[in-house]
Amino acid sequence: MADTPIVMREPQYRQIKAVLNKLRLDSAARVTVLIDKDGQEIAVDGDVSNLDTTSLASLTAGNVAATGGMARLIGEKEFPTLSHEGERESIHICVIGRTLLVVVFDDRSSLGLVKLRVKQVSGELASIFETVVREARKSAEEATLFAEITDEDIDSLFN
Amino acid sequence: MTFINYASREINCKIVYYGPGLCGKTTNLQYIFDSTAPASKGKLISLATETDRTLFFDFMPLELGTVRGFKTRFHLYTVPGQVFYDASRKLILKGVDGVVFVADSQEERMDANIESLYNLEENLRSQGYDLMNLPYVLQLNKRDLPNVIPPADLAAELQRKGEPVVEAVASTGTGVFDTLKAVAKQVLTELRKS
């Protein structure tokens, strides 16, 4: 049996977007993205016209999964933060519960500032995501919606 | 794990192509990528060795269309088939919604198929899944080669639970979309049940 779906509602989505926006501005970053640990993009803020965030989400999840595997090999639970510094652009990743917060920044910011700002918002993001999980459990609306999907609906996707 | 976003009206699902080394998992994805309109797909990411063997995973997002006002997007992954990349295979199964097992129909690869299928069941268990309860399709690939085992014999050995069995030649596209359709349909049906 696959896991229970994650269901994102409009209010929580807006809250997450607001936190990502604040974080991006406060840390002078280019882009902030929240990703599910399985590699699904949850929300993004910033100019992503030249950034493939779907691929970024998948590779970030792979990256965190691989380093998490390495952590367990040496007796650690996980490595909660990862940073990759490039010549001009850098990436900072922070594990927050079952989500990954990614900050893409350049030389207008610094790793220290990004780390500080990420730390300041991580509690807030964790709490919003807890609400997402809680709401998904108690709400029956989506069950009704998807129960209405017919075989014809599914077949039409492939026509 | 299916991700349903009411705000952006999207459903995202994860499908993993599993199977022994060189069975054609990446070829399946490559064919889907090559035959899909640019608007419906993202980039095909291939984390491969210099000799084009999958090192970590291949990934491509594919948008199939709209169901009940929700954009339906499938994230297709392959695992590295070579035996020694087992740790990577386990990681890629995390959050899976449906699995395609790509079997190599050649006689000399039968043992590799069996070993990989056993490995799939074991790795799913270690992630808390049971193959018996997961959307699943068995693809019999490389049907164009001369030394292949008859489909009935392959199915007798590899079929686990009456899952759909699709004969394929991934390099020319035969059976590739039938396989995807069969697994996607099960994933969406599962969503309806949940």
pLDDT (tens digit, 9 = 90+) per residue, A23-43? 999 999 999 999 999 899 999
- What pLDDT is attached to residue A156? 85
Is the CB of residue B194 less than 8 Å away from at least one CB of chain A?
yes
Q: How confident is the model at residue B100 (pLDDT cuts 50, 70, 90)?
A: very high
Q: Over pLDDT 70: what percentage of chain B?
A: 99
Number of structural domains in chain B: 1
Q: What is the ipTM of this complex?
A: 0.86
* Cβ neighbourhood burial of A49 (10 Å; 0-12, 13-18, 19+): exposed
Q: Please state, in angstroms and rounded to a whole number, the distance separating the CA atoms of residues B60 and B44.
A: 5
Check residue A5 and give its pLDDT.
79
Best of A154, A155, A158 to substitute, by most chain B Cβ atoms within 10 angstroms, is A154
Q: Residue A83's pLDDT is what?
A: 97
- Arithmetic mean of pLDDT, B3-8: 88
Pairing of strands B3-5, A6-8: parallel
> What is the pLDDT, as a whole number, of residue A113?
98
- Using a CB-CB cut-off of 8 Å, the residues of chain B touching A66 are 56, 88, 91
Residues in chain A within 8 Å Cβ distance of B188 = 149, 154
* B94 and A CB contact within 8 Å: yes
Superfamily in which the A10-138 domain is placed by CATH: Dynein light chain 2a, cytoplasmic (3.30.450.30)
> What percent of chain A has pLDDT above 90?
74
| Element containing residue A9 per DSSP (H, E) | none
DSSP, res B135: -
Residue A156 to residue B111: CA distance in whole angstroms? 38
Interface of A with B (CB under 8 A): 1-10, 13-14, 36-40, 42, 52, 54-55, 58-59, 62, 65-66, 68-69, 142-143, 145-149, 153-158
The answer to whether the CB of A81 falls within 8 A of the CB of A92 is yes
List the CATH number of the domain containing B181: 3.40.50.300
**Residues B54-60, mean pLDDT to the nearest whole number:** 92
Q: What digits encode the pLDDT tens for the residues B105-149?
A: 999 999 999 999 999 999 999 999 999 999 999 999 999 999 999
The DSSP element (H or E) to which A101 belongs, if any, is strand A99-105
For residue B188, the chain A residue with the least C-alpha distance is: A154
Q: Which domain holds residue B119?
A: 3-193
Q: Inter-chain contact A8–B75, Cβ cutoff 8 Å? A: no
- Taking CA–CA distances from A15, the nearest residue in chain B reads B7
Q: Which residues contact A126 (CB under 8 A, 6 or more apart)?
A: A96, A97, A99
The answer to whether residue A136 scores a pLDDT higher than 80 is no
Which residue in chain B has the smallest CA separation from A53?
B42
Nearest to B59 by CA among B73, B40, B79: B79
In the predicted model, what is the mean pLDDT of residues B158-185? Answer: 97
pLDDT in tens, A66-115: 999 999 999 999 999 999 999 999 999 999 998 999 999 999 999 999 99
Q: What are phi and psi of B150, to 5 degrees?
A: -55, 145
